[in-house]
Structure 1
Amino acid sequence: MIVFKGFMKLVKKNAGIALMYISIFFSISLMVSKNLNTNTDDSFTASELLVTVIDRDQSPLSEALSAHLGETFTLVPLEDKENVLQDALFNRRTQYIIQIPENFQDDFQTGSQELITNKIPDSTNGMYADQTVDAFLNDVRSLNLAGYSLEEACQETKKAASVTADISLISEDTSVFSTYSFIFVYMPYIILCLCCYIPPIVLLAFRKKDLRTRILSAPISSRSQSLQLFLGFALLGLGFWVLNLLFVLAMDGKAFLQSPNVSYYLGNSLCLTLVSLAIAFLISTFLKRDDALSAITNVISLGMCFLCGVFVPLTLLGDSVKKFAQFLPLYWYENNVSLLNKVAITTKSQTLQLYQGFGIQLLFCVALVSIALMVNKRMNVIEK
């Protein structure tokens, strides 16, 4: 196992670069996961909107409108003075002021009613309050034109507004973006960086003339040398894969292990690792100098990560970009991760889609290794 030991010594020698990539990825993951775990519930609640109603008409219609706004929003009573109303709006003691003028009901029946509203500029809350007022008045007008008296129209509109629907979630689409799902989305970057840098630089050292001559002069067959290099390659890739899984377990292990899709996540990431090793093997075949490896690694890892939905979600990519990305293995990894992050329990068609993604990644792996072996054999013939 001389070749294998030499392989591992060279890996140990270049461990600093691997630690740098790992540290960067893990640090970013920690920061993002901290933000994910922060409670950022910004959901809108209508009752939280502060509304002031100044009713100068005191008619059944104006009282019905005031009552409806009181049931929908939080009423803030204020004195009917312009400076008081302006100060309250400026200091955010109220967010929406509606002034109902005198003879509003009479003007409403003739179609010439006018309401005075004041709200915070460019406020979505104010727009929502405007829509609520318009909807109430439109419903009252429709019922009044249909033959209801104005008082009856107000009562019927109030009853209709009080009706609520019971909503329950029956879809299995969870769309929960947990900490472990975030790590799996961005895992291709760290796996590609590690696999495209460490194994090629080790294989490049084995191709140097002095080391190659020593190995050839040793009583080791070419087959044994190849098997030992393959063992080192596989063990290194397995180590990178296990390292990332350990990080997943450390960050969100309980939720990950309880996920019904844990086996699919594992299989998908393993396929990713195999593809990354195949890419690394192809790089090592063409590589001549180690000073170019860093640039090659960055171009391949960053390029595929941007095109295949790692850094930019697939839903935001254009159709032409997605069509091109389908010719890259990372697209099928991210396509599987996107599906797994959306559903808790996969259907038969979704399971078939996942296995299709696994198969395409493995086909990419076989194709890349075949190309690398063909090129390597051709280069050996030329050297001889």
Structure 2
Amino acid sequence: MERSGDGIFAILSMFSAISSVGIAAVVVFIYQVVAVISVWRATAKPGVSFWTKVFCRYALILNLMIAAVALRFGAGGIIFGGILYLAFWFFWGKGRTGVQSPRAERVLPAEMPKTVKEKIDSVASGGIDLAGFSRNNAGEPRLADYVQRVTPSASMKKRVHIAPDIPAGKLASAIGSRHFKAGLKNQQPFMLLDDSGRFDGKHGLLVTDEFFDFSFPGIEAVTFSYSFHSDGFDVKGQSVYRGGRKCAEFSNFKGDDLAKIFGVFNEFFADRDAWWRKSAEKGDRNAQFKLASSLVGNKEESMHWLRKAAEQGHPIAQGNLGTYLTSSDPEEAFLWLSRSAAQGNEHSQRRLAGKEFDSYRNKTGITI
């Protein structure tokens, strides 16, 4: 999480503290100049005695000396404060990304979806293999094709970038500011919605072939792996919701533009899910596996399609089915994991090494 706004405020506070005395000295200088002019003009009027003129104008010499000292001290204080400000900015503030003041009204709820690593870990513990989603069957809807349908308004063309026309500098900046940048090395970027104040790509939405990543100043980055879920986005003004939770709040995009863009994403989800179901019903084992994995809210139907794919020899489906059955039916789980491991599925091979399967391994004589 980045709270870079605090840094700039600290720098400005230090600058103000050091320069305030110098600024006060400049005010004193201006006051002394005004006083000298006023006294000189007053003593030049007719009727003013000789000694009054001498006394008052002698005092002006002291005023001028004070003014000179104040000017020198004030200028020195301001210059010193400016140098200190620039030094801190160069060595400390420059390296921070997105130096902007966090806005309280943009802070999202504390309960946020899991980060990419946590999502992958939780999925792996359930047996789902990410590799199974990277392969598309012929005719299966692809997000890259839907992204090309986005037509930004004239005012948004500087902020909406669609592959292959994503500026290299902005893309590098966007990836570098994300918390999952290491995982993006093998990702193919599809779209960048630049919500940064300075058009640098650091904040906004980055869409790849695996993830939707939202990143905003002072807010923890939020990532969705769209391969695992079919629920779409809901746009209300400049806020974006998914699964009933606010996941993003844009500053530089109009609500109408956001609705059009996320409407294209929702169209993709609907078409893809319909294609999966139609193909699964026709017996396509890959579609059965993907449909089963996307039905996270319907365990009964998910298990139905997972078993269908496993029975057709889908290695990942076999491993997932075995993993899910480990606690309820370890003997059947061992058989499915064995079939998956025999096809080279490393996840199933690791699961079979567990002590809970020792008795079944000795009973069947199956070794991988």
With normalisation by structure 1, the TM-score equals: 0.24
* Higher helix proportion (structure 1 or 2): 1
With normalisation by structure 2, the TM-score equals: 0.25
* Higher strand proportion (structure 1 or 2): 2
Where relative contact order (Cα < 8 A, 6+ residues apart) is larger, the structure is: 1
